[in-house]
Amino acid sequence: MPSHDDVLSDITSQIQNESDSTRAMAAVVATLKRRMPDYSWVGIYILDGNELVLGPFEGKPSPHTRIPVGRGICGAAAAEKATIIVDDVNADPRYLACSVDTLSEIVVPIMACSGVLGEIDIDSDRLAAFGAPDRKLLESVAALLAGRMGGQRR
């Protein structure tokens, strides 16, 4: 298992070296999927009006390409402007299924001063795969991405 700090340091360089926000998001998704064995599906949703629209992702195609704020675990994290960790998705009535193999999920909002810009969504095929080190890593990545996306807000 790679150290979360090593992965954060690689992602920090990737974001610093990529001025285009879409390419930065795709690079982050690819690195998280490749380096973190428990991260089975990694994607970034971008807020468009009152909907989260699926951007770069790695893993099986998801049926949930547009999620209204307030729906699903993704929509709840955007509404609450806070990270949500679900240890057992099948026990959470908010959960919108993407794959039958998914057992746990973490959703981390990407936030600027103006509010939510999007979010990082990660599924795992292991129960309770996400803990404090994952939250710390992904909240740091979200803050870096917010800096990259901020200049391109409408």
- Chain contacts with ligand SME (rule: CB under 6 A): 41, 43, 62, 64, 67, 72-74, 95-96, 98, 105, 121, 123
Q: For the chain, what is the largest distance between any 2 Cα atoms, rounded to a whole number of angstroms?
A: 41
Q: In the complex, what is the shortest distance from the CB of residue 113 to ligand SME, in angstroms, rounded to a whole number?
A: 25
Q: Which residue has the tokens 């039958």?
A: 100
Q: Pick the closer one to ligand SME by CB: 10 or 38.
A: 38
Which two three-digit tokens encode residue 145?
Answer: 């991405």
Contact (Cβ atoms closer than 8 angstroms) between residue 108 and residue 135: yes
Contact (Cβ atoms closer than 8 angstroms) between residue 73 and residue 94: yes
Helix (H) or strand (E) holding 68: strand 66-68
Give the residue nearest to ligand SME (CB): 72
Q: In the complex, what is the shortest distance from the CB of residue 25 to ligand SME, in angstroms, rounded to a whole number?
A: 15
Q: In the complex, what is the shortest distance from the CB of residue 102 to ligand SME, in angstroms, rounded to a whole number?
A: 6
Q: In the complex, what is the shortest distance from the CB of residue 57 to ligand SME, in angstroms, rounded to a whole number?
A: 7
Q: Pick the closer one to ligand SME by CB: 105 or 137.
A: 105
Q: Pick the closer one to ligand SME by CB: 2 or 61.
A: 61
Q: Pick the closer one to ligand SME by CB: 100 or 113.
A: 100
- Whole-angstrom distance, CA of residue 59 vs CA of residue 63: 12
DSSP state at residue 40: -
